[in-house]
Amino acid sequence: KDGSTGMEKVVLREPGGATAQVHLYGGHVTSWKNEKGEELLFLSSKAIFKPPKAIRGGIPICFPQFGTFGSLEQHGFARNRFWVIDPNPPPPPPALTGGNNGNGTSSNNNSSSKQQPFVDLILKHGEDEHKIWPHSFELCLRVVLGLGGDLTLITRVRNTDSKNFTFTFALHTYLSVSDVSEVRIEGLETLDYLDNLKDRERFTEQGNAITFDAEVDRIYVGTPTKIAIIDHEKKRTFVLKKEGLPDAVVWNPWEKKARAMVDFGDEEYKHMLCVEAAAVEKPITLKPGEEWRGRQELSAVPSSYFSGQ
Ligand code: BG6
């Protein structure tokens, strides 16, 4: 923690050298570095770490509304509120015992169990939120840095009210890429998407893998649980695995929109791509006492790890 408002953060380190950083402002993951110290998330050089704006980059949390799918401010309010460290967190993630760490790289075969670094944050409704969205809720975020450097976000929403409520949700993940025009996404081909640039009209993806040469703002609906983002220049593949979040948003503002954003450098669009695990097309309804859980796991592996790349 560094103590100052908006800048207060938690740093996770795993023994191999990977790190992650979570700001309490927004419950926002702002950095994820591999064991070589390479940053894997995009964070704008112009990011502002205080209300009313969300931090530009990292992983903002869109709740209780994704985008403009409702009457609230764009992407809801969770991303521009101060979260707290959960005083009563659920049990820690299971300790790992040696062997394969799940991302294809080998870890040492030490049979003693090791704890993965993690933190639990919570956002409760306050009077302010209640005025905007009149429901009692608890929103929790667990960030786990796996041994081997995978980054897992587990989110839980609990209805602490006496009536049902409905929300949409996204983990608005800004990936750092060398040059977006050299990137392709696999796992979304032939799916339907809602095009935010065309009044959310529904289209079916025709191409093979998805590549980028202009502004993109799409919600792919009902996607597979695994999506690969392949950065040819860096020879790096991000693998995004998700549960409870059936949709995937893909966004790059491209040149013109980049210039219009005050908290985003004019050329920065070349070095980022948002791929967001989301629940948008079918909003989630919780009865009193019910809880919903969503999970997104990111790993970054050398592209050569996959055959044919
Ligand atoms: C994306 C949306 O998820 O977020 C876009 O699909 C939006 O429509 C983008 O422009 C950024 O939103 P904001 O509010 O952070 O500027």
- What are the structural domain ranges in the chain? 9-95+116-177+248-297
Known catalytic residue at 297: no
Q: DSSP per residue over 18-48, as a string?
A: -EEEEETBTTEEEEEE-TT--B-B-B-TT--
pLDDT digit string (tens) for 91-150? 888 887 754 444 444 444 444 578 899 999 999 888 988 999 999 999 999 999 999 999
Cα–Cα distance between 120 and 126 in angstroms, integer? 19
Confidence at residue 308, expressed as pLDDT on a 0 to 100 scale: 45
Q: How many percent of the chain have pLDDT more than 70?
A: 92
Confidence at residue 109, expressed as pLDDT on a 0 to 100 scale: 45
- Mean pLDDT, the chain, rounded, equals 92
Cα–Cα distance between 257 and 22 in angstroms, integer? 27
Task: Please indicate, yes or no, whether the overall pTM of this predicted structure exceeds 0.90.
Answer: yes
User: Probe ligand 1: pick from 48, 62, 251, max atoms within 8 Å of CB?
Assistant: 251
The mean pLDDT value for 236-259 works out to 98
pLDDT digit string (tens) for 38-78? 999 999 999 999 999 999 999 999 999 999 999 999 999 99
User: Probe ligand 1: pick from 48, 66, 69, 196, max atoms within 8 Å of CB?
Assistant: 196
Confidence at residue 93, expressed as pLDDT on a 0 to 100 scale: 87
Confidence at residue 105, expressed as pLDDT on a 0 to 100 scale: 42
The mean pLDDT value for 76-86 works out to 96
Going from the Cα of 291 to the center of ligand 1, the distance in angstroms, rounded, reads: 27
CB 289 within 8 A of CB 164: no
Give me the phi and psi of 271, to 5 degrees please: -110, 15
CATH class of 9-95+116-177+248-297: mainly beta
Going from the Cα of 160 to the center of ligand 1, the distance in angstroms, rounded, reads: 29
Confidence at residue 200, expressed as pLDDT on a 0 to 100 scale: 96
pLDDT digit string (tens) for 145-185? 999 999 999 999 999 999 999 999 999 999 999 999 999 99
Whose CA is closest to atom 1 on ligand 1?
A: 251
pLDDT digit string (tens) for 22-44? 999 999 999 999 999 999 999 99
Catalytic residue among 172, 186, 281, 297: 172
- Is the CB–ligand 1 distance for residue 196 below 6 Å? yes
Atom of ligand 1 nearest to the CA of 257: 10
The closest of 8, 139, 129 to 73, measured between CA atoms, is: 129
pLDDT over 70 at 227, yes or no = yes
Confidence at residue 108, expressed as pLDDT on a 0 to 100 scale: 45
The mean pLDDT value for 198-216 works out to 94
What does the H/E/C string look like for 93-159? CCCEECCECCCCCECCCCCCEECCCEEEEEEECCHHHHHHCCCCEEEEEEEEECCCCCEEEEEEEEE
Helix (H, G, I), strand (E, B) or coil at 285: strand
Known catalytic residue at 276: yes
Cα–Cα distance between 154 and 270 in angstroms, integer? 29
Atom of ligand 1 nearest to the CA of 276: 3
pLDDT over 60 at 306, yes or no = no
Which region holds residue 259: left if phi is over 0, alpha if psi is between -120 and 50, else beta? Answer: alpha
User: Probe ligand 1: pick from 172, 219, 273, 281, max atoms within 8 Å of CB?
Assistant: 172
Cα–Cα distance between 231 and 185 in angstroms, integer? 9
pLDDT over 50 at 287, yes or no = yes
Confidence at residue 144, expressed as pLDDT on a 0 to 100 scale: 97
